[in-house]
Amino acid sequence: RRLPLWGAFVLLGFTALTAGIQAQTTLTRDNGAPVGDNQNSQTAGPEGPTLLQDAQLVEKLQHFGRERIPERVVHARGTGAHGEFVSAGNFSDLTSAALFSAPGKKTPVFVRFSTVIHPSGSPETLRDPRGFATKFYTEHGNWDLVGNDLPVFFIRDAIKFPDMVHSLKPSPITNQQDPNRYFDFFSHVPEATHMLTWVYTDNGTPASYRTMDGFGVHAFKFVNAKGEVHYVKFHWKSEQGIKNLDAKQAEMVQGKDFNNLTHDLYDAIADKNYPKWDLYVQVLKPEDLAKFPFDPLDATKVWPNVPEVKLGTMTLDRAPQNFFQETEEAAFAPVRMVPGIEASEDRLLQGRLFSYVDTQTYRLGVNNQQLPINRPLASAKNYNQDGMMNAGSTNSDVNYQPSETQGAYADDARYKASRLPLSGTTQQERIRRTMNFQQAGDLYRSLSAMDKDHLISNLAGDLGQVKSTKVRDTMLSYFYKADTDYGTRLSKAVGADPATIERLARAL
């Protein structure tokens, strides 16, 4: 049978349309409506002004003007990758955390690495600790291990954190980072001596995110099914080894490529050279805490000579498809733990339990856990509802608990928090066992001759800029107290009088 003429036209038109769709998809506005002209605004004739009714023009400009969200108040500059954690065994004697319940058990992860102080877009070569935040998507919900690449921290009480960050961030007057400001702050914080020593070694400028370790820094608690508690510290050990840049190398790299750490991670993954880290824990019984000359729940301290147990291995093998959605919208928070892992009484950690969710509610909104990168695999089932940008509200008449209703959500006593024996009164006092300098000295003494040279020159470079002799000499007395050779060499390097520094250090 012959095709009628109109039929041939329809067929031709249809073929042309599908060919067109295959070649290029029609551009639409956010409401899905096709756009007729994305190059020329609607105007009142050839000479007249632009018309407000041009929906495409208005939508484009409006959306563009809202592309930025607040950057993270710290750790703004980062990059991330997806991967998998594989448990090395069954650790149920220590913790009921499901991800550690069987050898070979796999848990998907997302990791975000970052610098700390410098803003989004700043060179990745700048001296700083590095963030190492891991989100484990476990069957009992997400566990965020929000760590750094160095084993300790500058301060031990969260109440000091905003002041510390203000001193390290650019001056509100000059908008420049200034050693006069942060050393003024640190001259009142002797417990920072250990962390400052770490940061001013070449560990402050890692060669690659792949070649650095990660640390949970704080003590956390492992709790098993019997309710028994152990205090633990987490350590990611890089299978790539540790590799840093010295000051000259950092300068050279920065001149060529200030996205060096992001490039390195993406390139390694594209080359299928997947980076791996082994996760270890140190374990202490609660009664062991009293046996140390320092407070083991103080985040400025490591636990020397406490053996490490290997929990498993993480491999990162997939770069994000969309940087904003998977890295910038990622919200890590130390408070997001799973049954079997709890916070210790560490005063720094206790503040962090509040701060991250609070800032993310501002940075990303109250429903940030519904964003794809943050959404738990075990879907959230609760009666939190509504709020800005909600996309997962309850769809039942019962939006309260408890309820008799069949299928309503109920709490489960198996997941109750562990118990902590307490006595005494409330107080506002510093911790009893401070031991501010010993571990900084131990670290200095453990360094190679070259690493010591680099530490002295890196630190002298910044401390030498401090105009206040009082601030400079107080800082020097801390390093001297940690180790006499350390303090003497630094004093000479910045032209201070070693005898004065020794006298100040004796008074500490």
Q: Which residues contact ligand HEM (rule: CB under 6 A)?
A: 72-75, 78, 112, 114, 131, 133, 146-148, 153, 158, 161, 217, 299, 330-332, 348, 351-352, 355-356, 359-360, 363
Instruction: Give the closest residue to 156 by CA, choosing from 426, 429, 412.
Output: 429
| Cα 109 off chain centre by | 14
H helix or E strand, kind and range, residue 450: helix 449-463
Cα–Cα nearest to 320, from 260, 389, 270? 270
3-class SS string, 93-118:
CCCCCHHHCCCCCEEEEEEEEEECCC
Q: Which is nearer to ligand HEM, 311 or 476 (CB)?
A: 311
Q: Which residue has the tokens 């042309």?
A: 16
Alpha-carbon gap, residue 222 to 94, rounded angstroms: 6
| 273 flagged as catalytic | no
Residues contacting 218, CB < 8 A, separation 6+: 233, 297, 299, 334, 343, 344, 346, 348, 349, 352
User: Do residues 115 and 254 make contact, with C-beta atoms less than 8 angstroms apart?
Assistant: no
Instruction: Name which of 318 and 363 has its Cβ closer to ligand HEM.
Output: 363
- For residues 248 and 458, the answer to whether their CB atoms sit within 8 Å is no
Catalytic residue among 75, 118, 194, 230: 75
Q: Which residue in the shown chain puts its C-beta closest to ligand HEM?
A: 131
**CB of 209: closest distance to ligand HEM in angstroms?**
12
Decide whether 238 or 360 has the Cβ nearer to ligand HEM. 360
CB within 8 A of 242, min separation 6: which ones?
Answer: 203, 211, 212, 213
Closer by beta carbon to ligand HEM, 98 or else 348: 348
CB nearer ligand HEM, residue 75 or residue 454: 75
Nearer to ligand HEM, 261 or 501 (CB): 261
Give least dist CB 159 to ligand HEM, A.
Answer: 8
Are 110 and 81 a contacting pair, CB within 8 Å?
Answer: yes
- Distance between CA 495 and CA 311 in Å, rounded? 48
Smallest distance from the beta carbon of 468 to ligand HEM, in angstroms? 26
Nearest Cα to Cα of residue 485 among 447, 457, 445, 450: 445
* Bridge-based pairing state of the strands 214-215 and 276-284: unpaired
Separation CA 59–CA 18 (nearest Å): 28
Helix (H, G, I), strand (E, B) or coil at 500: helix
Per the CB < 8 A criterion, the answer to whether 274 and 238 are in contact is: no
Nearer to ligand HEM, 96 or 367 (CB): 367
Question: CB of residue 116 vs ligand HEM: minimum separation in angstroms?
Answer: 7
Q: How far is the CB of 193 from ligand HEM (least distance, A)?
A: 16
Q: How far is the CB of 112 from ligand HEM (least distance, A)?
A: 4
- CB-wise, 101 or 120, nearer to ligand HEM? 120
Q: Please, what is the minimum distance in Å from the beta carbon of residue 360 to ligand HEM?
A: 5
The answer to whether 63 is a known catalytic residue is: no
On the 0-12 / 13-18 / 19+ scale of CB atoms within 10 A, 115 is: buried
Give the active site residue among 142, 148, 374, 436.
148
In whole angstroms, the minimum distance from the beta carbon of 435 to ligand HEM comes to 18
Catalytic residues: 75, 148
